[in-house]
Amino acid sequence: MALDELVELIPGMALILDPMGQILACNQAAQEHYKESLRAILRHPNSRAILHEALATSPSTGPHAIHTAIVHLDVPIKHTIRLAMRQLSRPQGRDKMVLTLLTDHSTEQAMDRMRADFIAHASHELRTPLASLSGFIDLLKDNEGTTDQASRTLYLQIMSQQATRMQRLVERLLYLSHLQLRSHNRPHTRLDVGELFALIVGEVLPRFTDNTRNLTVEQEEDHLTLLADEDEMIQLFLNLIENAIRYGTTPDHALQVRLCARKEGTGILLSVSDNGPGIAPHHLPRLTERFYRVTDNKQTNPAEVEEGTGLGLAIVQQIVERHKGHLRFLSPPHEGTICRIWLPAAPAL
């Protein structure tokens, strides 16, 4: 049996190397997963070390020893790979060969980092309102009977605000967790974009009742249809419109928010745009990170940024991924911000 045929029979990602570390055979799984990175992995000092160890194994009776190492690769993308090498039995006098199995631990490590970061951030976000509540409770207890009514009212108002903030944060954390549990189940319900926009306008209209804010809706074609979860799509647009209001409001001109929909390729391009001050370029790649907030925009009320949970765009990203779509933010200097969502169109009936 040829080496190429043999290595394809091995489950997982497998290579066969010669004594110089050159690839004699590589199965399709390894080639598709690592592509040009394979040679960089094999050139790593840890890989070279266990190759020499495997080659030095004496061909005594019984299976040859298995030698393992961990390789961290930073370019072109980060990988953490476990290599296991074992010398193959060969007829006397033939060149030695080494079977190499690769196991990628990059996803597990990334998930572990995400969990640790999530716990750290969530703890930090909850600690602030809890400290505020605890402080005012102690203040009221220590000064019981001596605190004037005006001070008591102020303390209770602040406590109520902090409790509401904490409740909103917990609700969004639970909603994000709910989305993640359903991330592999793509929605199959047909949803008309025009009807979706009508529901969204009905939800947000109370926030556009004066001359300082204006909402417009544009749909280039009738009967644009998605396979989507209606509640999740409404939540997506409510989060984007909330962000447009929070970061786009300025004291010198009226805020214009636009919802748009049009056909693009095999899908539908949805967008939410505003005419606010825009977002600095260095923020754009991080907008969908959990708890990340843009804090350098000049607004009518900068405290509104602090009232946000920092989870709104993370929820948007999760919803888009569940619907097998793509999300992109554009913010030309001083020209506002555009959020574009491409989603696959529903098949024709």
Same domain (yes/no): 253, 322: yes
pLDDT value at position 308? 65
pLDDT band at residue 301, thresholds of 50, 70 and 90? very low
pLDDT value at position 239? 92
- Residue 283 CB coordination number (10 Å): 18
Q: Which residues contact 320 (CB under 8 A, 6 or more apart)?
A: 236, 326, 327, 341, 343
Q: Of the candidates 71, 104, 137, which is a domain's last residue?
A: 104
Same domain (yes/no): 137, 265: no
Mean of the per-residue pLDDT values for the chain? Answer: 85
For the stretch 111-137, pLDDT in tens is 777 677 667 767 777 787 888 888 888
Greater model confidence, 94 or 20: 20
- Residue 201 CB coordination number (10 Å): 16
Task: Give one DSSP letter per residue of 139-170, joined into a string.
Answer: HHHHTTTTS-HHHHHHHHHHHHHHHHHHHHHH
Same domain (yes/no): 65, 155: no
For the stretch 164-213, pLDDT in tens is 888 888 888 888 878 877 777 889 999 999 999 999 999 999 889 888 89
Contact 236, 214 (CB under 8 A): no
Q: Which of 227-236, 243-252, 298-307, 337-346 has the lowest mean pLDDT?
A: 298-307
Render the burial of 76-92: b for 16+ CB within 10 Å, e for the rest: eeebbbebbbbbbeeee
Contact 266, 323 (CB under 8 A): no
Distance CA 143, CA 47 (A): 68
Q: Tell whether the model's pLDDT for residue 3 goes beyond 70.
A: yes
Same domain (yes/no): 204, 146: no
Q: Which residues contact 309 (CB under 8 A, 6 or more apart)?
A: 125, 165, 168, 169, 172, 291
Q: Of the candidates 181, 207, 235, which is a domain's last residue?
A: 181
Contact 305, 294 (CB under 8 A): yes
Tell me how many domains the chain contains. 3
Among residues of the chain, what percentage have pLDDT more than 90? 40
Same domain (yes/no): 77, 205: no
pLDDT value at position 341? 96
Rg (the chain; Cα; Å) = 29
Of 320, 130, 348, the C-alpha closest to 237 is 320
Same domain (yes/no): 309, 216: yes
Mean pLDDT, range 243-264, rounded to an integer: 90
Contact 99, 88 (CB under 8 A): yes
User: What CATH number has the domain bearing residue 317?
Assistant: 3.30.565.10
Mean pLDDT, range 46-65, rounded to an integer: 78
Same domain (yes/no): 124, 99: no
Sheet arrangement for strand 67-73: 23-26, 13-17, 97-104, 79-88, 67-73
Mean pLDDT, range 71-94, rounded to an integer: 79
For the stretch 212-248, pLDDT in tens is 899 999 998 888 999 999 999 999 999 999 989 988 8
Burial of residue 305 (number of CB atoms within 10 Å: 0-12, 13-18, 19+): middle
Same domain (yes/no): 266, 284: yes
pLDDT value at position 1? 65
pLDDT band at residue 302, thresholds of 50, 70 and 90? very low
Same domain (yes/no): 159, 194: no
Same domain (yes/no): 84, 134: no
pLDDT value at position 305? 45
pTM: 0.61
Q: Which of 40-49, 78-87, 130-139, 303-312 has the lowest mean pLDDT?
A: 303-312
pLDDT value at position 166? 84
- Give the pair of three-digit tokens for residue 347: 């098949």
Identity at 323, one-letter amino acid code: H
Mean pLDDT, range 42-50, rounded to an integer: 93
Greater model confidence, 129 or 76: 129
Highest mean pLDDT among 76-80, 165-169, 325-329: 325-329
Same domain (yes/no): 201, 304: yes
Contact 255, 249 (CB under 8 A): yes
User: What CATH number has the domain bearing residue 161?
Assistant: 1.10.287.130
Among residues of the chain, what percentage have pLDDT more than 70? 89
pLDDT value at position 75? 65
Q: Tell whether the model's pLDDT for residue 85 goes beyond 90.
A: yes
Helix/strand/coil for 206: helix
Q: Of the candidates 104, 120, 136, which is a domain's last residue?
A: 104
Residue 78's domain spans which residues? Answer: 3-104
User: What CATH number has the domain bearing residue 77?
Assistant: 3.30.450.20
Same domain (yes/no): 264, 230: yes
pLDDT value at position 63? 56
Task: Give one DSSP letter per residue of 241-301, joined into a string.
Answer: HHHHHHHH-BTTB-EEEEEEEEEETTEEEEEEEE-SS---GGGGGGTTSTT--------S-
pLDDT value at position 92? 61
